[in-house]
Each structure stands twice: as C-alpha cells, then as structure tokens.
A and B are shown apart, each in its own frame.
Chain A
C-alpha cells in the first residue's frame, strides 16, 4: 500500500471506511451493554432482588426466654429475670483500651474484671459478642446508653438472664448456661448463637435439654442504611419461650442437703423408693451457676480449679468409691436368696483364718456369736467372710448387679461413671488372674475392686427398701406406673429391714442417727479405706488419705418411702456421713426442726454456702487481686476442665490384695480400740474389721 502514492481521495475514502468501523464498534458496544443489562436485570433478577432485600432489611434476633426448670412442686430451680446488660462487639471497637477505661468508670468494674474482659476481647472472633456486664441497674445502663456515640462497638440492651435461685445447691444438677463458643457455632451455624445476650446450655440439664429449653427467637425487622442507621421499623415478632421441664426434685430438700454437707466434700442422694423419683441429688462443694452463666472470672476460676474438693465434679454421678460395709445388706440378701438360714451363726473372735492368712474383723476383740442380723447391725466382717466363701462370689456379684451396683442409669448427664462389680470372670478378663479368696473377702465388705457411685448406692437402698425394681428418675411423670417387684420374698426383706433398723434404733453402729421425729429410720454405715494402714490410719492426718464415710438409709423402716445415700469423701469414716443422712431425712418429716440444726451448724462454719463462697472469693481476690496469674480460660477450656472433673476418681491405690475394714466410730463395742495395728500379714495389710 505504501508503494502507491497517497492522495486525499484515498485518505478520504479510508476515513469513510474507518468511520463505519467506529460506528460498528459503537453498535457492538451498545449491544454488549444492552445484553449485559438484560442479563443482570432479567436473567439474574431474582438473585439480585434477594440481595437487595437482605441489604435493605436488617433482622435483629431477640434471644428467646429459656424454659424454666421446676421442682416437683413447681418451684423454680432455674428461671429468667429481666436485666440490663452491656456487650462489646470486638470488630466494631475502635480503641479497646479507651473503651474499656470509659466502661470501667461508668459501670464501676473492678480491675480484675476489666482484665478478664480485655483477655476475652483479644481472643474473641469478630462476630462474637463479649459480655461486659449483666444484671445492671437502670442508672448504670442509662449512663452507658447516653455515651454510646463515643463508644463504638458497645451494645447496651435489655434482655433476660438465667437465674438460679438456689445457686450452688443446684449447680451440678441443673448445669449452667454461657455464650456459644466458636465450636458451637461451627456445629449449628445458627445466627441466634452469636446474638448478643443469647446463652446456650453448657452443662447438666441445661445442656441436655437445650432444644426443649431454648425456644424460638423473636425478631425485629428494620429497614437500615448501609451505616446501620435504622430508617423504620418493619415489625417485630415476639419470641416463643422455651418449654419448661419439671423435675422430681424437691427444691427445699435439695437445698437443705447441699447446705448440710457443709465443709465436707461429698454427695447426698434422696429417692422416693416407691417410684424412683430423685428428690435430691446434691454434690458439694459446687460452683454457683449464676456466676458461671455470667462468664467465669479469673479469681473464681482459680478458686475453683485449685480446690482439692473438686467443686467442678458432680460426685453423685462421677464420683466412684469403694462402698465399704454399705454392701452388707445386699450381701445378706444374696445369702438369703441362696438359702442361708439367717439364724445360722458364726463365732467372731476378731478375725478369720483362711488358709495361712488371717482376715481381721474391724472389732479385734470379736463379736462373739454372730447371726445375720447381728452381722448387719454390728457390721461384723467375720460373719460375711465366712458365709461369702460358702455361697460364692458369683451369687453375691449377681445380687449386687440386681440391686443396681455397676448399673448404667439413663440419666440426662454425659460422662457418668458406673463403677465395677467384680467377679471371677471379670477379674480374669481384666487382669488375666484367677479369683482369690481375699478378693471375695474384700468384695463382701465393699473394698478391693468394688467401686460404686452414690446414685447406685441410693438405688441399692431403694430396691432393698421397697423390693421394687426402682429406676432413678429425674423428670417428673405423675402417671408413670409403679415399678415392678424385684421378686424378693417379703420375709427376707422384712428381716433385712429389721436388721437395718437395729443399726440406727438399736444395738447397731449408728445409734446417733436415730431421727428426732416419730419415724424410725433404717440404715447401714460404711467406712471405706483409701490407702493402706501403712500410709495412714484413715481417721486423721492428711485429708486425702482419710477414709470415705458412707451411709445408706430408708424411712420409715416398716413402710419404706424415702431412701437416701450419703457419701463423704475422706470424711474419716461413716461418722461423717450418717449425721447428714439423719438431718436430711428429718427435713422430709419436719423441715423446721432440721433447719434449726442446720442454722446452728452454719454459724460454726462461717455462714451459708453463698456467704462462705463469697468470703473465699474475697480471700482469693485480696491475695491475687487483678494479677491472678492464671489467665481466664475460654469457654472451651472450662468445658474441658469440667470434663476432666468428670473422670471417675479411681482410688490411686487399688486394693488388689486385702483391704482392712475400718472401725465404726459409733461402735457400741465396750471400748473402741485405738487405731488397729497393721496386720502382720506378709503380703499386705489383712482385713482388720468393719462396721
């Protein structure tokens, strides 16, 4: 082309052609734009309309009120109360330090609380609200509300918070609630979980019945601008409160039992032995679910986690203990079923020689001629050593299981411990060793491999008391049919009942357990050793080496209605347990009388549970102040630690050889021998007695 001479005509022609190209380009672009417009506005209209709506309408969830937890009489164990609260949305906070400083001033937050919140703020994900304070009074709430413009990310709101009127008394049973963790959110992907002020069940019934208790959130629909300014209200949907659950618990009794445990570490279970209703299920020391639900502070956490009384463990379901002599009525039942004549006697001279070994009775002086009744009320070990060998371990183990030991109950709690009822087959399977004579000896006095939890002991007491196949129930069902009979002969039951009544009301080991009301209670003491006599005598010395105290009981003895099991960890023997059982049972028949006793005790102990926990908290706060070294764990970690607390407390020194029964403090024997000397038995401490 360059070869040709270029003329104006050629250029002009070229211009016209190229103008056409430009025109075509314009038309092409116009078509493209029109097509794109059609694609967006028509083909994808639905998608973008939805997006536009979700821009326009801002849905604010209103956390539903949680269903109440009621006791059998309709009294609230967990309720809601209206409160004012202040939350922080970490993402929206511009200057955390300044914001916290202002809030601390407005809400008069103590320094340790401020540090707790700062810790949480640092850890929190952007969407997760951090609670600054709840249960605020109107003045403080208003003070924060008016200063909102200078406090971005601060959300004051009116809502409901969970309230547990009985505090620590129901901590383990009811559980507690807390803000949903990131993991909860991953699991459920429900925007409700990250709504400020919403709490989900974290433990106990609150967790197990989460879906039932939760309810349906309300919602407020508003038209809002991109910057969040609300233009107008489009309507509000009320929340639907969660459904209540009614328990078989008697709130007053539960509270009494928890308080009566006092300074000890232990648990009390009271059951209706006709129906299986659990009337009280206390494990102390405990935590206050009210303060757990507000988020645990660093000082409180330190206080709870450093306590050797493990307040985070629900001992009723997760504590495992050798039951000691409380198994003797059960063993006697096995003897009767096996055809043993209860009047058949054995002479107790303080011990029983089996082969080349001597198994001691707890009473070294001996009980003389002992029949079954005396074997029970005097808790004579030799009687049981003797006949257990005759009847055989298999029959005893079968009876133990029949009465509920080692049984798994369908209770609404995770991670229960069910313990062990040993027999030859079990030992062979677990340890690959043959069953030995001393294993039978240990098992018949509730030592050795045998481990039970307090609920199982209460079930055992109930089944012996009523002769019915009692299953523990926590949810109230007034129309449930009565449990079927166990199939025991009534005269066998009457015999055992009489012997157990003798323990309390006659010549037995727990004379001081007699009720101060016109009702006769039957019971059985138990003292379980924790370590061999070579380490400690079980009565005094280091707390963790002291014997466990047990007591099972039912009343009235001739027409059993209520059964009870008390376990006091390291209480030094059954003497720590039966006074509690006595007072708890008294409360059922005469609450006023029982309260007088408790009031006197609480004066000695330094106040009721709340007051003692508050005092303890103050001590910790004074000692560590805001500088508590341990950072407050987040929710997951608390859950984990509580989980650890669930692990059964297997005795560290498993009594694989021979245990030594411990003397009952209340023994009516002429004179109590001083701490029994360790047995001369070559391999280990031989049994020395029982109660």
Chain B
C-alpha cells in the first residue's frame, strides 16, 4: 500500500489481520442470515454488532503498554480463579452445572476468559523465570499448579471442551518456553495410557456417550449420533459449489441441530460447498500465519510467548470445531471463531487478537533485537 495516498492513522492499522477477520465475520453474517431463514436481524445483526464492539475493545487492548500486561497477569489470573470458584459454588447451590455469572448487565463466563488468561499468566511466569531454570522441575511445577487450578475447576463444571482448550493453551506456552522435549513426549505417552482410564472413570456419562458416538455415529443415528450424521449430510450434500445461498435444506428444515452456533460450518458448507469451506480454511490460515509471524518478530520473551499462545488458542477453537462438524472429533461444545453466533467466544477470540496486535505494536516501537 503506497503510503503517500493513505492517511497514516489508517495505514498504521494491522490490515493483514483486520481484512481476514472482516471477511470471516461478513461471511459468517451471511451464513447466519441464511440460517435464520433469510432474516438479518435474528442472528447476523448481533453478530456484526458484537464484532464491531469487540474490535474496538481489541484496538484498546492493542494500545496497552507491555508493562501493564506484565503487572496484570497474576492479579487477572487470581480474579478469574476466584470467579471460577464462585461459579462452582453458585452452580452447587442452584443444582446442575452452571458456567456463567450474572452480572446484571451481562452474563460472564469466567472459563472463557481463562483461555487467554492462562496464556498470559504462563507467558509472564516464563518471562520472569531465570533462563537457567527452564530445564528443571522449577519450570514445570509452578506452571502445573497455575494450569491445574483453573483446568480442574472447569472440568468440574463439567466443561470438557473449555478445559481442554485451557490446557492446550498452557501446554503450547510451555512448549514454546523451551521446556525439554522429552517432557512433552513423556506426557504424551502417559496420556495414551491414562486416557482410557480417564474415559471410564472421570468422564460423565454424557461425555462418554459423545465419544462413543463419535467412534460410531451410525450406531445411534437418531439419538446422540444425530448431530454428527446430520452435519456430515449437510457438508456432503453441498458438493463442490453448494446448494446456493439460502437453499440449504438441512439447516432450514432443522435437520441440522445448532445450525447457527457449533455447526455453523456445516450450514455454510451446505450452501457454499467445498469452495466456501476452503475459503474459510484459507482465511483462518492467513490469521494464524499473521499470529506466528508476529510472535517470531516479537521483541522479548514475554511477548513472544504471549503471541504464540494466543494464536494457538484460536487455532485450537477452529481445529476442534471443524474436526467435530466433519466427524473427525467427538461432539464438544466449541464454536467456530468469528462465524458461530455467540458473544463469549467472540470476546475471547477478540481478546486474543487484541493481545497479538499489542505485541505487534510493541515490536514496532521497541528496538529490533533480542531481549
């Protein structure tokens, strides 16, 4: 973009992420419009409005100084943990599982905020940890505690999907912090052993059922396998170019459940076909490439870990959601960023984006080089 013709405040904006985001959100709005039977005001309108609001929030976050991030990391983490416990208590009193707090003007889902929160606190932890300690247990044990508390609380809710997302973000930060590779390999091996045990002892019945159904959806086509089967039908029947905008029978006739939230990709693929799907994948690819580029160019250890952790948190969302709707993963309630209708996930993802944008700003202002 030639600088001469564009005003500086506009040229300064991180267009390499804003354009893909806007493309994704606009496309998402179109899909939501169709899913609502051609009515823009049902879901699409609030989708766009939310994006605009949270975009402003992300811009604000992007202007915050690194010092503030560092200072706020631990207190924010502590507050979120307290909120998670509160949720647990209220849920315990109210009976059943509760995941949100009613603040009066909005409902707050602390587990959502914990996704960027855990990345932030671990990035801070590894940035203050002396370099020499990264290979010792002192690099692992505190991080384990930091992760264990929120992950445990979220799993108790029970919310397996969010619990896994938090853990994934944390593990990515630990991995990027340079912890010995053999720990990850060892943990992976241990996980393979423990997973079957956990499956039979720790998971709730409905969670276990979801996994079983995922392994064999045709076994129960009208029961729990219904989601996966109908989603595959929607995607498969779309073909190469789709049935056309507004012509998706699976979503319009309600065969596809959750057509505007978790299964919005199936709604899209039915009407836009494989081309629509590839478009979404490519746009996500652009966003992730931007995130990783930012983290590589980041000026110091904290911001590097922060940017890569945030990027991978978003990636985890997309990856699990798409694998789920295409029948490659069990049904877990994880929405598709910027396309699914829903405020909480939009906020989380925009916090992540805002943080990465902040890192990009720091690296522009800071002298290039190592910390």
Give the interface of A toward B (CB within 8 A): 1-2, 5-12, 14-16, 18-19, 22-23, 26-27, 29-30, 32-34, 36-38, 40-42, 44-45, 47-49, 51-52, 55-56, 223-227, 231
Contact = CB atoms under 8 A, between A and B. Distances in A.
Contacts of B315: 26, 29
Contacts of A52: 233-234, 236-237, 249-250, 270
B360 to A, nearest CB: 15
A421 B253 CA distance: 71
Contact of B239 (A8, A45, A224): A45
14 contacts: A8-B370, A15-B178, A18-B176, A19-B295, A22-B311, A32-B328, A33-B328, A40-B235, A45-B239, A49-B236, A51-B236, A52-B233, A223-B253, A225-B254
A59 to B, nearest CB: 15
A489 B300 CA distance: 128
A36 B326 contact: yes
B177 to A, nearest CB: 8
A37 B233 contact: no
B180 interface: yes
A150 B172 CA distance: 55
Nearest to B304: A15
Interface in B257-310: 269-270, 273-274, 277-278, 281, 284-285, 288-289, 292, 295-296, 301, 304, 308
Given A8-B131, A41-B269, 13 more contacts: A2-B135, A6-B178, A11-B134, A29-B315, A34-B281, A38-B274, A41-B240, A42-B240, A42-B274, A51-B236, A52-B233, A55-B250, A225-B253
A6 B139 CA distance: 13
A38 B326 CA distance: 11
A5 B249 CA distance: 63
Contacts of B176: 15, 18-19, 22
A19 B292 contact: yes
A30 B234 CA distance: 20
Nearest to B248: A52
A54 to B, nearest CB: 9
B188 to A, nearest CB: 13
Contact of A23 (B270, B292, B322): B292
Contacts of A55: 230, 233, 249-250, 253, 255
A38 B281 CA distance: 12
Contacts of B295: 19
B135 A48 contact: no
Given A8-B371, A36-B328, A56-B253, A42 B239 contact: yes
A34 B178 CA distance: 31
Given A2-B180, A19-B292, A33-B323, A48 B175 contact: no
Q: 9 smallest A-B Cβ distances: which pairs?
A: A48-B236, A52-B237, A41-B274, A56-B249, A226-B254, A11-B178, A40-B236, A48-B237, A14-B178
Interface string B204-246: 0000000000000000000000000010111111111000000
A6 B172 contact: no
A224 B175 CA distance: 51
Interface string B131-173: 1101100000000000000000000000000000000000010
Contacts of A37: 235, 269, 274, 277-278, 281, 326
Nearest to B242: A41
B239 A30 contact: no
Contacts of B277: 34, 37, 41
Contact of A48 (B172, B233, B304, B322): B233
Given A11-B178, A41-B277, A45-B239, A33 B322 contact: yes
B319 interface: yes
Contacts of B270: 52
A226 B230 CA distance: 11
B312 interface: yes
Contacts of B323: 33
Prevailing SS type, chain A contact patch: helix
A547 to B, nearest CB: 65
Contacts of A44: 236
A19 B234 CA distance: 35
A27 B281 CA distance: 10
Contacts of B238: 41
B301 A45 contact: no
A56 B132 CA distance: 64
B236 A6 contact: no
B292 A22 contact: yes
B301 A11 contact: yes
Interface of B: 131-132, 134-135, 172, 175-178, 180, 230, 232-240, 249-250, 253-255, 269-270, 273-274, 277-278, 281, 284-285, 288-289, 292, 295-296, 301, 304, 308, 311-312, 315, 319, 322-323, 326-328, 370-371
Given A37-B277, A40-B326, A56-B249, A19 B132 contact: no
Nearest to B130: A6
B135 A6 contact: yes
A29 B285 CA distance: 10
Best-surrounded residue of B177, B239, B253 (most CB of chain A within 10 A): B253
Contacts of B327: 36, 40
A32 B175 CA distance: 23
Nearest to B289: A23
B253 A231 contact: yes
Contact of B237 (A38, A51, A224): A51
A29 B326 contact: no
Nearest to A55: B255
A47 B304 CA distance: 47
Best-surrounded residue of B175, B178, B180, B304 (most CB of chain A within 10 A): B178
Contacts of A12: 301, 370
Nearest to A23: B292
Contacts of A42: 239-240, 274
A34 B370 contact: no
Nearest to A10: B178
Contacts of B285: 26-27, 30
Nearest to A52: B237
B13 to A, nearest CB: 24
Given A1-B180, A19-B296, A56-B249, A51 B319 contact: no
Best-surrounded residue of A18, A47, A223 (most CB of chain B within 10 A): A18
Given A12-B370, A22-B308, A41-B239, A6 B288 contact: no
A654 to B, nearest CB: 60
A29 B131 contact: no
Nearest to B226: A226
A49 B237 contact: yes
B322 to A, nearest CB: 5
Nearest to A49: B237
A127 B240 CA distance: 37
A681 to B, nearest CB: 78
A227 B254 contact: yes
Given A22-B172, A29-B319, A47 B135 contact: no
Contacts of B319: 29, 33
A225 B259 CA distance: 14
A221 to B, nearest CB: 14
Contact of A51 (B135, B233, B281): B233
Contacts of A49: 236-237, 239
Contacts of A15: 176-178, 304, 308
Nearest to B249: A56
Contacts of B240: 41-42, 45
B84 to A, nearest CB: 28
A29 B319 CA distance: 7
Contacts of A14: 178
Nearest to B179: A14
Contacts of B326: 33, 36-37, 40
A6 to B, nearest CB: 6
B326 to A, nearest CB: 5
Contacts of B178: 6, 10-11, 14-15, 18
Best-surrounded residue of A11, A41, A44, A47 (most CB of chain B within 10 A): A41
A14 B296 CA distance: 11
